[in-house]
């Protein structure tokens, strides 16, 4: 039997996820295409490589910055937020 879908929050809004999904996959399925902005110019970033090689998909998860959304498995109740810039602690949401 497959575990049921669950919710996590992204920037304060609930997002539905399937067990085993990455944060990036759940965000894309929910219609989000970007969730980080570059520090210098504020340009939007989301999934680029999708396999953990680049760092375009960085998010803050449960208060800790610098998680690659394509590699992080989303868990019930996770609090995910947009990351600004390179993810220094003073920039984390």
Q: Which residue has the tokens 């600004």?
A: 84
- 86 confidence band (pLDDT: 50, 70, 90): low
Domains and CATH numbers, the chain: 6-91 (3.10.20.440)
Question: What is the DSSP code (8-state) at residue 86?
Answer: T
The values of phi and psi at residue 38, to 5°, are -65, 150
Question: What is the DSSP code (8-state) at residue 41?
Answer: T
What is the secondary structure of 55-83 as a DSSP string? -TTEEEETTEEEEETTTPBP-TT-EEEEE
- pLDDT tens sequence across 9-67: 999 999 999 999 999 999 999 999 988 888 788 888 889 888 888 888 999 999 999 99
92: pLDDT strictly greater than 70: no
**Other C-beta atoms lying within 10 Å of the C-beta of residue 48:** 12
More confidently predicted of 84 and 23: 23
5: pLDDT strictly greater than 80: yes
């Amino acid at each position: 039997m497959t575990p049921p879908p669950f919710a996590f929050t992204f920037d304060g809004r609930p997002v539905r996820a399937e067990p085993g999904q990455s944060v990036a996959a759940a965000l894309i399925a929910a219609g989000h295409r970007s969730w980080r902005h570059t520090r210098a110019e504020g340009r939007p970033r989301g999934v680029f490589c999708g396999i953990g090689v680049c760092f375009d998909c960085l998010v803050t998860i449960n208060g800790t910055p610098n998680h690659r959304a394509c590699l992080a498995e989303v868990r019930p109740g996770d609090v995910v937020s947009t990351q600004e810039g390179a993810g220094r602690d003073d920039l984390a949401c």
